[in-house]
Amino acid sequence: MHYRHLVLCSIAALALNVSPALAQETKQPESPTPAETPTPKESTETATQTPPEYLDDRSTPETLIKSYYNAINRQEYARAYSYYASDSPPQPFPQFQAGYENTKSVTVLFGKAQGEGAAGSAYWSQPLAIKSEANDGTNTVFNGCYRLRLANPAIQGVPYVPLSILDGTLQKSDQPLEQSVPEGCEAP
């Protein structure tokens, strides 16, 4: 009797644990990334854009900045904010988040990062240009540099601190995105 009860309880628990997993596997249709042009549809339905695929890669300056703007494009502002070094946030979080309230998407192009090591840390300067699309469809291009730091992983303690943004300087550009990437930045 106890065995039969144990088997039935196990099956019920398994069903409860599997059902949410099956629900999560439902894929939504893919949508174009900000760099792609959507194909016009002949339907009168309002198209909804799904967010770009999640990206969180802090292994190089370029991939960290791609991840940062991926968070912005997904409206994950707390994640975007987390890419900044904890000792040098750009501004308090509420103002940071409010700065993106009219941003629909951001496209980014990179120049060549420059790096150097000093006092147990590696520093990089990452030149880039971004095109910010507002919710009303207007586009603005900016260019500039981000400075990044990684303390030597071999000598770090707990908690481990990954590659982080120290600061960034962007200014409005009158050139198209492709022509706005700076040749380089000041040494980190």
Q: Of 38-47, 81-90, 120-129, which gets the smallest average pLDDT?
A: 38-47
- Reported as a pLDDT band with limits 50, 70 and 90, residue 184 is very high
Closest CA to 181 of 105, 114, 72, 108: 108
pTM of the complete model: 0.73
CA atoms within 13 A on the CB side of 103: 24
Closest CA to 66 of 128, 141, 139, 134: 128
The arrangement of secondary structure in 61-179, i.e. its CATH architecture, is Roll (3.10)
Q: Of 10-19, 53-62, 111-120, 156-165, which gets the smallest average pLDDT?
A: 10-19
Task: Please give the structure tokens belonging to residue 91.
Answer: 């501004």
pLDDT of residue 188: 79
Whether residue 159 is preceded by a cis peptide bond, meaning omega within 30 degrees of 0, is yes
Q: What is the dihedral of CA 87, 88, 90, 93, to 10 degrees?
A: 0
Q: Percent of the chain beyond pLDDT 70?
A: 74
- Reported as a pLDDT band with limits 50, 70 and 90, residue 187 is confident
Alpha-carbon distances of 70 from 18, 79, 140, rounded to whole Å: 30, 10, 18
Average pLDDT over residues 166-177: 97
Contact 90, 84 (CB under 8 A): yes
Q: What is the dihedral of CA 149, 151, 152, 153, to 10 degrees?
A: -110
